[in-house]
């Protein structure tokens, strides 16, 4: 990759130079400290409190190992899923996360609805596969032994109102972490899947003794359908509380920490009638701001292969820095930076392709024409006419 300044500049350096253009305000810094300390106490002390209460109700301490195993399994699973498929869909895998992304302006509500349906289908298929595998044991019954469904009350006596608040708050924290780690201004966004997975594991360490930990309506719906009984009757709590928690996080994050780009049409609290799924410039990958947009590119993602395929993160960061939309028209920066014309932007070339700022796509670099000798002895260079 080259720049017209003559300096050797890598794609990663271009992204890093544009990930943070403004200094956070004192209010934002204090809010970050409040939220970070809140998470520290909630997860650290919460895991100790709930594990102690639960262990006192059990015959031995083997259940503490159970909490650790299940928590790590969920955390590792989400890391794997986000790294594998985040570049395709954004890696939500959770209707509450999709609701938070829509509320924060990163995807439209129509797309969030489609995502939720797909996530529920995936959860049901996963629970069905698990139900089949578990029946390899003689005498197994999902109605008697369960299938990982969520719960409240029962022998533990954990009240429904406490379960509701716990799931709501933990989901809000989870979505806050997701929005923060995938924010375009975060220089550590390439580690987002790992941070998200560790957060989910910590959430399970806290809430398994109380509710079995949901923070994901799809994760609760799938196992409940094959467990029946109280799992179905209590399902409402594990759908409603996480959705509210995700929406609260999606609403409050941009209010506290601001945003870089305008909200996607059909998102947030405003629902334009003309917004359709797939028709808006939404977000495409975990390593970019808000499930796409203009943050740091995921490892190995974004190398141009065919005409019209833009490098996610690399080129969009330069476009957003200059304040230009996908139509090549100036929009200006919310940060008040001076607008820059595409002609003044660096020339980005890689593997025989050059980024066209006006057309918003990659174009092949025309090779120089070979010189030819004329009969009179002069040498001329003939150029092919430009392709339409």
Give the angle subtended at the CA of 280 by the CAs of 10 and 173, to the nearest 5°.
75
Task: Reply yes or no on whether the pLDDT at 285 is more than 60.
Answer: no
Side-chain half-sphere exposure of 277, counting CA atoms within 13 A: 9
Task: Reply yes or no on whether the pLDDT at 244 is more than 60.
Answer: yes
Contact in structure between 101 and 251 (CB atoms under 8 Å) = no
Give Cα 4 to chain centroid, integer Å. 34
Q: Are 28 and 13 contained in the same domain?
A: no
Q: What would the DSSP string read from start to end of 270-312? A: ---TT--TTSS-----TTSTTTSTTSPPPTT-----STT-PPT
Phi/psi of residue 362, nearest 5 degrees: -85, 140
Q: Hunting for tokens 């092919």 — which residue is that?
A: 384
Q: Are 11 and 93 contained in the same domain?
A: no
Task: Reply yes or no on whether the pLDDT at 55 is more than 80.
Answer: no
Rg (CA), the chain: 25
Q: Are 15 and 58 contained in the same domain?
A: no
CA distances from 180 to 42, 69, 201 (A): 18, 27, 18
Residue 181, in any domain of the structure: yes
Q: Are 87 and 141 contained in the same domain?
A: yes
Q: Are 233 and 90 contained in the same domain?
A: yes
Question: What's the pLDDT score for residue 363?
Answer: 76
A 10 A CB-CB count for 260 gives: 22
Instruction: Provide the number of structural domains found in the chain.
Output: 2
**Which whole number is the average pLDDT over 215-232?**
91
Question: What's the pLDDT score for residue 343?
Answer: 59
Q: How far apart are CA 243 and CA 231, in angstroms?
A: 18
Of 85-94, 170-179, 374-383, which range is least confident? Answer: 374-383
3-state secondary structure of 244: helix
**pLDDT above 70 covers what percent of the chain?**
66
3-state secondary structure of 47: helix
**Which whole number is the average pLDDT over 323-344?**
45
Residue 287, in any domain of the structure: no
Q: Are 89 and 166 contained in the same domain?
A: yes
Q: How far apart are CA 170 and CA 39, in angstroms?
A: 9
Q: Are 163 and 220 contained in the same domain?
A: yes
Question: What's the pLDDT score for residue 311?
Answer: 43
Q: How far apart are CA 317 and CA 296, in angstroms?
A: 8
Q: Are 14 and 29 contained in the same domain?
A: no
Q: Are 199 and 346 contained in the same domain?
A: no
Q: How far apart are CA 283 and CA 208, in angstroms?
A: 32
Beta sheet of 361-364, edge-to-edge order: 349-350, 353-356, 361-364
Residue 47, in any domain of the structure: yes
Question: What's the pLDDT score for residue 16?
Answer: 42
Smallest CA-to-CA distance from 15 within 348, 369, 367 is with: 348
Question: Sorting pLDDT into bands at 50, 70 and 90, what band is 374?
Answer: low
For 386, which DSSP code? P
Q: How far apart are CA 22 and CA 25, in angstroms?
A: 9
Q: Are 232 and 362 contained in the same domain?
A: no
Q: 80 lies in which domain range?
A: 24-257
**Which whole number is the average pLDDT over 328-354?**
57
Backbone dihedral region for residue 114 (phi beyond 0: left; psi -120 to 50: alpha; all else: beta): alpha
**168 vs 370: which has the higher pLDDT:** 168
CA distances from 9 to 13, 69, 182, 297, 316 (A): 6, 45, 24, 16, 16
Question: Sorting pLDDT into bands at 50, 70 and 90, what band is 376?
Answer: low
Residue 267, in any domain of the structure: no
**41 vs 271: which has the higher pLDDT:** 41
Q: Hunting for tokens 């709930």 — which residue is that?
A: 50
Domain end, chosen from 222, 240, 257, is at 257
Q: Are 93 and 174 contained in the same domain?
A: yes
Question: What's the pLDDT score for residue 94?
Answer: 95
Side-chain half-sphere exposure of 98, counting CA atoms within 13 A: 24
**298 vs 351: which has the higher pLDDT:** 351
Domain end, chosen from 226, 241, 257, is at 257
Task: Reply yes or no on whether the pLDDT at 291 is more than 70.
Answer: no
Residue 296, in any domain of the structure: no
Residue 274, in any domain of the structure: no
> What is the domain-level CATH number for residue 33?
1.20.1080.10
Domain end, chosen from 257, 272, 298, is at 257
Q: Are 32 and 15 contained in the same domain?
A: no
**Which whole number is the average pLDDT over 343-364?**
74
Q: How far apart are CA 264 and CA 121, in angstroms?
A: 26
- The residue length of the chain stands at 388
Smallest CA-to-CA distance from 342 within 325, 320, 322, 362 is with: 322
Strand partners, 381: 371
Residue 387, in any domain of the structure: yes
């Amino acid at each position: 990759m080259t720049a017209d300044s003559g300096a050797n500049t890598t794609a990663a350096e271009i992204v890093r130079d544009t990930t943070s253009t403004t200094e956070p305000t004192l209010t934002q810094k204090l809010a970050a400290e409040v939220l970070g300390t809140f998470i520290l106490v909630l997860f650290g002390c919460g895991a100790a409190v709930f594990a102690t209460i639960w262990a006192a109700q059990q015959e031995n301490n083997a259940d503490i190992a159970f909490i650790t195993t299940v928590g790590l399994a969920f955390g590792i699973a989400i890391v794997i899923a986000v790294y594998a498929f985040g570049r395709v869909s954004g890696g939500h895998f959770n209707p509450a996360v999709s609701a938070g992304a829509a509320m924060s302006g990163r995807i439209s509500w129509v797309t969030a609805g489609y995502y939720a349906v797909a996530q529920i289908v995936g959860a049901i298929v996963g629970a069905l596969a698990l139900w089949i595998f578990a029946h390899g044991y003689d005498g197994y019954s999902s109605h008697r032994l369960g299938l990982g469904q969520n719960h409240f009350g029962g022998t533990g006596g954990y009240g429904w109102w406490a379960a509701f608040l716990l799931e709501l708050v933990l989901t809000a924290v989870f979505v806050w972490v997701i929005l923060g780690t995938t924010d375009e201004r975060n220089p550590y966004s390439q580690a987002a899947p790992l941070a998200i997975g560790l957060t989910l594991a910590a959430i399970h360490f806290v809430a398994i003794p109380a509710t079995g930990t949901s923070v994901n309506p799809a994760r609760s719906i799938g196992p409940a359908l094959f467990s029946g009984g109280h799992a179905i009757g209590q399902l409402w709590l594990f759908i409603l509380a996480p959705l509210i928690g995700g929406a609260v996080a999606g609403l409050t994050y941009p209010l506290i920490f601001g945003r870089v780009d305008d909200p996607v049409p059909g998102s947030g609290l405003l629902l334009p009638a003309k917004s359709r799924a797939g028709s808006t410039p939404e977000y495409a990958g975990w390593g970019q701001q808000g499930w796409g947009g203009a943050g740091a590119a995921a490892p190995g993602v974004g190398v141009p292969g065919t005409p019209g395929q833009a490098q996610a993160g690399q080129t969009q960061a330069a476009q957003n820095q200059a304040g230009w939309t996908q139509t090549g028209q100036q929009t200006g920066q919310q940060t008040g930076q001076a607008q820059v014309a595409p002609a003044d932007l660096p020339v980005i070339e890689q593997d025989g392709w050059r980024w066209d700022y006006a057309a918003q796509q990659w174009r092949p670099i025309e090779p120089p024409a070979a010189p030819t000798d004329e009969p009179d002895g002069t040498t001329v260079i003939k150029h092919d006419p430009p392709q339409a």
